[in-house]
Structure 1
């Protein structure tokens, strides 16, 4: 009389939900690992200063064009470096949110849903 788990008052649906939750947890863990290695590049001064950081916001490298080194322009150089780092961090946040959006949208959840991150 009992067909599968359907005759157990919805326990079959609960089992499906639990399995789906475990899959989501696995995908979230994988995405967290991926975000540690995905990189973005921020720049300032029309590319004279470039900053590379992971999608977790960790600064990985700076590339500074030697043409900007002039003792009189110390503050300008500092501002360009700071701007490049901030640009890279903003891009990292944007990329991480986009990747998270792909994951949640693929599960039928709202794209802008906030998940533990």
Structure 2
């Protein structure tokens, strides 16, 4: 009766996998907003906290670095901590995405989201 429809079973399975992937992607994107990373510079004198999506949420500066003669050093430390936090956020996001693609059996070189 269904002899000529051999590929439809595979198509239904693919659609189910696509829906599962879409749901898990949405969940992961939501969780990236609450995951945090901390970037540091100056051996921890400046710390920048960001979400795994790269949104800066906090900046902690050790008061011992406030010397008016070294204003540029302080600015450089702040920028370095922010850049470190952003790099860690991107790395965390990529690791989470890789875990998702691995769990769904997708190729390692598949770049999501599309």
Q: Same fold (TM over 0.5)?
A: yes
- Listed one character per residue, the Cα deviations across residues 39-91 of structure 1 (whole Å, up to 9, x for unaligned) are 00000000000000001110000000000001001000000000000000000
Q: Does the CA contact (< 8 Å) of 1:51 and 1:85 recur in 2?
A: yes
User: 2:102 maps to what in 1?
Assistant: 105
Provide runs of 4+ in structure 1 moved above 6 Å. none
C-alpha distance in structure 1 between counterparts of 2:82 and 2:60, whole Å: 11
1:94 counterpart (91, 104, 112): 91
C-alpha distance in structure 2 between counterparts of 1:62 and 1:74, whole Å: 17
Q: Which runs of 5+ in 2 are unaligned?
A: none
Q: Which runs of 5+ in 1 are unaligned?
A: none
C-alpha distance in structure 1 between counterparts of 2:21 and 2:52, whole Å: 20
2:72 counterpart (67, 75, 89): 75
Tell me the C-alpha RMSD between the 2 structures: 1.5
Taking structure 2 as the reference length, the TM-score comes to 0.94
